[in-house]
Chain A
Amino acid sequence: GQQLNQSPQSMFIQEGEDVSMNCTSSSIFNTWLWYKQDPGEGPVLLIALYKAGELTSNGRLTAQFGITRKDSFLNISASIPSDVGIYFCAGRPPRSNYKLTFGKGTLLTVNP
C-alpha cells in the first residue's frame, strides 16, 4: 500500500521557536491533511489542502501542498507549550473518497 514518510520523528524545541515538519510519498495525493493528537485524545484536524501548491494558514500554523503532489509541509511559528503533541499528516489518493493514509507522526516537545 501507499506509505507516507513523515519527518522528523520527534522534535525538542524551546518556547518561541519556529517548527517545520514534512511528509513525503512515492505516490501522488489529491488531498493532504494535518492532524494533531494530544495525549489520551483523538486526532484533531488542523488544516486541509486540496490543490497542488496551495498554502493555507490556521493561526500560527501554515501548511503547503507540494507542487509535485507527493509532499506536504507544516510550519508552526512562535511555538507555545500547548503545541506539545503528535502531529500527523494524512493523504488521500486519487479516485478514493474515503481512504486516508497516515504518516507515523512527529512528536513535538516544547520547553517553556
Chain B
Amino acid sequence: DSGVTQTPKHLITATGQRVTLRCSPRSGDLSVYWYQQSLDQGLQFLIQYYNGEERAKGNILERFSAQQFPDLHSELNLSSLELGDSALYFCASSVEGGGPYNEQFFGPGTRLTVL
C-alpha cells in the first residue's frame, strides 16, 4: 500500500458524459500527478499540481481538467467522454515538486470504461 488513495476503483459511463476521479496523496506529500495508462500508449503524464497550484502539463486534452484543493486532495475531471478515453487513470504523489530523491508513489488507479 503506497498510501495514495483513489476513488472510484471502477467507473463505467457513456460517451458524451462527464466524470470526476478523486485522489488523496500520501500524508505529507504536496505534489500530485495524474497519468493515463492505455494498452497502446503506456503511461502518459497528464498534469501535476504542487501545493494547490498547477506545476506542469503533459499530454492532457482540453476536455480534461484537474485541480488540487487546500487539503491537498486532487480531482481529475473528464468531460465529453469518447470511447478512446477508456483507460486506467493513476494518481501519484511526491513530497516536493518532484526530482531526485523525491520520487512519485502511485495509487491503485481508476479504471474508466466508456461505452
Contact = CB atoms under 8 A, between A and B. Distances in A.
B49 to A, nearest CB: 10
Interface string A31-44: 10101000011111
B43 A102 contact: yes
Nearest to B41: A104
12 contacts: A42-B2, A42-B4, A43-B43, A43-B90, A44-B106, A45-B104, A45-B105, A50-B101, A92-B99, A97-B97, A97-B102, A98-B56
A63 to B, nearest CB: 14
B11 to A, nearest CB: 14
Residue of A43, A48, A88, A103 with most chain B CB atoms under a 10 A cut-off: A43
Given A42-B106, A98-B99, 5 more contacts: A42-B4, A43-B106, A45-B105, A98-B55, A99-B58
Q: For this complex, into which size category does the number of interface residues on chain A fall? A: 20 to 34
B48 interface: yes
Contacts of B102: 97
Given A42-B4, A48-B103, A98 B42 contact: no
Nearest to B56: A98
Interface of A: 30-31, 33, 35, 40-45, 48, 50, 88, 90, 92, 97-100, 102-105
Contact of A42 (B31, B56, B97, B109): B109
A98 B48 CA distance: 8
Interface residues of B, number: 26
B103 A99 contact: no
B97 to A, nearest CB: 6
B90 A98 contact: no
Given A98-B55, A100-B45, A45 B99 contact: no
B43 A98 contact: no
A40 B99 CA distance: 27
Nearest to A98: B98
Contact of B109 (A30, A41, A45): A41
